[in-house]
Amino acid sequence: ANQVRLQAIKGVESSVPPAFSFDPGEEPGQIFGENVFSLNVMQKRLPKSVYKSVVSTIEKSTPLDPAVADAVASAMKDWAMEKGATHYAHVFYPLTGLTAEKHDSFLDPVGDGTAFASFSGKTLIQGEPDASSFPNGGLRNTFEARGYTGWDVMSPAYVLENPNGNTLCIPTIFISMTGEALDHKTPVLRSQQAMSAQAKRVLELFGHDEPDNVVAYCGPEQEYFLVDSHFFTARPDLLNAGRTLFGAKPPKGQEFDDHYFGAIPERVLGFMMDTERELFKLGIPAKTRHNEVAPGQFEVAPMFERANEASDHQQLLMTTFKSVARKHGMECLFHEKPFDGVNGSGKHVNFSLGNSELGSLLVPGDNPHDNAQFLVFCAAVIRAVDLYGGLLRSSVASASNDHRLGANEAPPAIISIFLGDQLADVFDQIAKGGATHSKEKGTLTIGVDTLPNLSKDPGDRNRTSPFAFTGNRFEFRAPGSNQTVAGPMVVLNTIMAEALDHAATYLETEVARGTDFNEAVQALLTSIVSDHGKVIFNGNGYSDEWPIEAEQRGLKNLRTTVDALPELISPEAVELFGKYAVFNEREMHSRYEVGLEQYVLSISVEANLTLEMGTTIILPAAVRYQTELATNVSALKAAGVEADLADLEAVSVPLAALRAGLKELAAAVAHDHPEDGMEAATFCRDTVIPAMAAVREAADVLEGVVADDLWSLPTYQEMLYLL
Ligand code: ADP
Ligand code: MG
């Protein structure tokens, strides 16, 4: 093999995993939450009245008393400094989808040449990062270029360890001077409130007096790839774009299914143990780990938590995985499609509603009354997803996720619901007016004693549906592995707010009119199923027939990001988000603009890289090999031997295609980007991406032809199987 590759392979073979730094007898519980400024820590360290005030802010969303903030800040600082923190950082979640943090020292100069450690309530509550370079989609003019960060009391502060010094991290929202959201956290909090208000109305109708706030729970399953650092650094595309822009399919792919749930390689297991330990310290409840479908692909799933905490934890999980992987001589890839022709990575968002008083509201109950309530919440999901499937699709729209959705490995871009046999059967009967015969269990009439008990066994599983009921929750499978779960959770909360509002309003009106409650529930369910039942699909979402049928049903098939993003600024969406005070129209437009901007940026980076690698790595290798063959042909001719030109041709044809492709791509890259975001994105999709694909196609043919010692890019085979 080529020197560069050979060196990388030798490096992989000789790499030694780091020694375990912990006592193998250590119980997981011992370190869990060790670095979190949790309620428990606060209770121990704060005066009783201060503690009570914080709890009430967390539990009942009462505004935070500024006097309380000083006491909390002081206790937080002492605790963090005992844990070795020298700095504090407001951590926020800008629209890039990444995590941002601004660090400040605890030390304040006193004036006599010394410095004093301080941390006031004011600095805890509000920060002012110079954040003018974060995308804002036109929300901030230069004169109001500053953004503000504000402490999110609901998400605990924590100490992040680093060999070079620890930092106290404070999860914050990030807003403009006018109070408009510049981040992913602010709308999670707003939408959570909106959903809760409507859910409580429904619960009250079912006889729950002044129920506690209803929260959205989120349990994200995170898929990722690991590659050895030696290969990673030898691939400019992985390094700069997070995915391979070149690479022929390996002779052995995932067809054998021998990796899925197989034994975890020793080196990877060491990495997993180490990451879990770090997550535990931060109070992140990592639970499940296993191999995924593709070689080199794995999954981690923490226990579900309140959506706000879950999405902060999810961001922290990704950064932790990246840094621990580096310690182990590997790179953790969260790109949705790092390797063509090999399974991509998603992040399934398991979603339910509930609270500690009532449990999950998406679990069938033990009696007909509870089941009726369960069915109303399920029906609300059906209405929400049918009316706003396009918004759900837009919440997972990105250049990288476009490679995955609908590519026969992930659900299609068509958003439908899978209910499973039992629930589908129940709703089927409700659609027919109810009071008919249930499959196994007698007559089905809502609310009266004859409503059958529903089994809690989720029964069958359908892995091809983007939105599947799995017994006590729905699983949204379209999110990409690199995306924040905040986007989908905001949409889910808001569309559920609308659907629950609809249900509550209908039932309240009917009850006021004197209609029997059970009859009203029955009528509500029947009308929801007949209006929105078309979104229910229990068949194979990967089949060729489904897109055709979906179109006949009137379901949207928004294949690319460019198709999906306009959903954000549709009149229905603007009205919905405005009505529930989650986004105003300016905020919606800003998210739309930022989405387009990010799309154009990531495709432009890839296009430039493709051009560069094609020109400086692939083309020279092919030319050298072509020259070698041509020299051979002329030598043979000179010797009077008849030369076979087939080998030469096998290089020359794809080489000509590569040259033509590079020329075309160079023209596309040099083309002035249209000012308008939508035009620029459309140009990327329709001109730049096809030009990149043509270059890659020729290059991948060459990889199979050019002599191995001339090929310097690590191959798929090497990257996927050498761990
Ligand atoms: P599977 O592979 O069967 O889908 P996993 O165990 O990999 O299941 O992940 C399931 C995820 O769903 C976990 O994060 C789990 O905590 C989460 N989950 C379980 N119950 C709920 C619920 N009621 N609401 C939200 N998430 C849930
Ligand atoms: Mg799973």
CA of 326 to the centre of ligand 2 (A): 25
Ligand nearest to the CA of 456: 1
Q: Output the pLDDT for position 449.
A: 44
CA of 222 to the centre of ligand 2 (A): 8
Of 160 and 451, more confident: 160
Could you report the per-residue pLDDT of 260-298, keeping only the tens digit for each? 556 667 888 889 989 999 999 999 998 878 787 788 999
Q: Other C-beta atoms within 10 Å of 35: how many? A: 23
Could you report the per-residue pLDDT of 318-343, keeping only the tens digit for each? 999 999 999 999 999 999 999 998 88
Tokens 């892995």 locate to 463
Give the C-alpha separation, 236 to 609, whole Å. 8
Pocket of ligand 1 (CB under 6 A): 217, 219, 221, 288, 301-304, 350-352, 360, 472-473
> Nearest residue CA, atom 17 of ligand 1?
219
Residue among 215, 221, 465 whose CB has most ligand 1 atoms within 8 A, to mutate = 221
Give the C-alpha separation, 185 to 147, whole Å. 14
pLDDT category at 438 given cuts 50, 70, 90 is very low
CA of 120 to the centre of ligand 1 (A): 40
Q: Are 628 and 655 in contact (CB under 8 A)?
A: no
Ligand nearest to the CA of 468: 1
Give the C-alpha separation, 212 to 202, whole Å. 13
Q: Other C-beta atoms within 10 Å of 25: how many? A: 6
Q: Output the pLDDT for position 443.
A: 45
CA of 506 to the centre of ligand 1 (A): 32
Could you give the count of Cα atoms lying within 13 Å of 227 in the half-sphere of its Cβ? 27
Q: Output the pLDDT for position 412.
A: 79
Q: Are 412 and 555 in contact (CB under 8 A)?
A: no
Please list, in sequence order, all residues whose beta carbon lies within 8 angstroms of the beta carbon of residue 431, skipping any fewer than 6 positions away: 526, 529, 530, 533
Ligand nearest to the CA of 476: 1
Q: Output the pLDDT for position 448.
A: 46
Please list, in sequence order, all residues whose beta carbon lies within 8 angstroms of the beta carbon of residue 623, skipping any fewer than 6 positions away: 655
CA of 97 to the centre of ligand 2 (A): 23
Which atom of ligand 1 is the closest one to the Cα of 219? 14
Which atom of ligand 1 is the closest one to the Cα of 461? 3
> Nearest residue CA, atom 2 of ligand 1?
221
Structure tokens at 270: 């060491």
Phi, psi of 437 (to 5 degrees): -90, 130
Q: Output the pLDDT for position 445.
A: 54
Which residues partner with 297 through β-bridges? 225
Give the C-alpha separation, 149 to 99, whole Å. 13
CA of 219 to the centre of ligand 1 (A): 5
Which atom of ligand 1 is the closest one to the Cα of 304? 16
CA of 463 to the centre of ligand 2 (A): 10
Q: Other C-beta atoms within 10 Å of 456: how many? A: 13
Cα dihedral 557, 561, 564, 567, rounded to 10, equals 180
Written as one letter, the residue type at 186 is T
Lowest model confidence (mean pLDDT) among 44-48, 181-185, 454-458, 599-603: 454-458
Tokens 């692909």 locate to 297
Mean per-residue pLDDT, 131-158: 78
Q: Are 642 and 274 in contact (CB under 8 A)?
A: no
Q: Other C-beta atoms within 10 Å of 477: how many? A: 23
CA distances from 73 to 55, 114, 122, 151 (A): 15, 22, 9, 11
> Nearest residue CA, atom 11 of ligand 1?
219
**What DSSP designation does 685 have?**
I
**Which of 407, 415, 427, 532 is closest to 475 using CA atoms?**
415
Ligand nearest to the CA of 363: 1
Is pLDDT above 60 for 428?
A: yes
pLDDT category at 200 given cuts 50, 70, 90 is very high
Which atom of ligand 1 is the closest one to the Cα of 360? 23
Mean per-residue pLDDT, 674-680: 93
Q: Output the pLDDT for position 137.
A: 80
Structure tokens at 75: 């206790």
Q: Output the pLDDT for position 342.
A: 87
Q: Are 154 and 189 in contact (CB under 8 A)?
A: yes
Q: What is the pTM of this model?
A: 0.94
Please list, in sequence order, all residues whose beta carbon lies within 8 angstroms of the beta carbon of residue 5, skipping any fewer than 6 positions away: 234, 711, 712, 713, 714, 715, 718
CA of 221 to the centre of ligand 2 (A): 6
CA of 352 to the centre of ligand 1 (A): 10
Structure tokens at 647: 């080998």
What domains appear along the chain, each with residue ranges and CATH number?
32-183 (3.10.20.70), 192-596 (3.30.590.10), 597-721 (1.20.120.1560)
Q: What is the DSSP string of 264-276?
A: PPHHHHHHHHHHH
Is pLDDT above 50 for 442?
A: no
> Nearest residue CA, atom 5 of ligand 1?
301
Structure tokens at 660: 């033509």
Q: What is the DSSP string of 216-259?
A: EEEEEEEEEEEEEHHHHHT-HHHHHHSS-SS-PPPSS-STT--S
Q: Output the pLDDT for position 234.
A: 95
Q: What is the mean pLDDT of the chain?
A: 90
Lowest model confidence (mean pLDDT) among 162-176, 476-490, 622-636: 162-176
Give the C-alpha separation, 293 to 280, whole Å. 26
Residue among 473, 474, 489 whose CB has most ligand 1 atoms within 8 A, to mutate = 473
Could you report the per-residue pLDDT of 570-604, keeping only the tens digit for each? 999 999 999 999 999 999 999 999 999 999 999 99
Written as one letter, the residue type at 344 is G
CA of 288 to the centre of ligand 2 (A): 8
Strand, coil or helix: what is 354?
strand
> Nearest residue CA, atom 24 of ligand 1?
352
Mean per-residue pLDDT, 88-101: 92
> Nearest residue CA, atom 3 of ligand 1?
470
Structure tokens at 208: 């729950």
Q: Output the pLDDT for position 263.
A: 64
Residue among 350, 465, 475, 476 whose CB has most ligand 1 atoms within 8 A, to mutate = 350
Structure tokens at 277: 């330990």
Tokens 């995915």 locate to 243
Handedness of CA 195, 578, 62, 206 (dihedral sign): negative
Give the C-alpha separation, 451 to 368, whole Å. 5
Cα-Cα end-to-end distance for the chain = 19
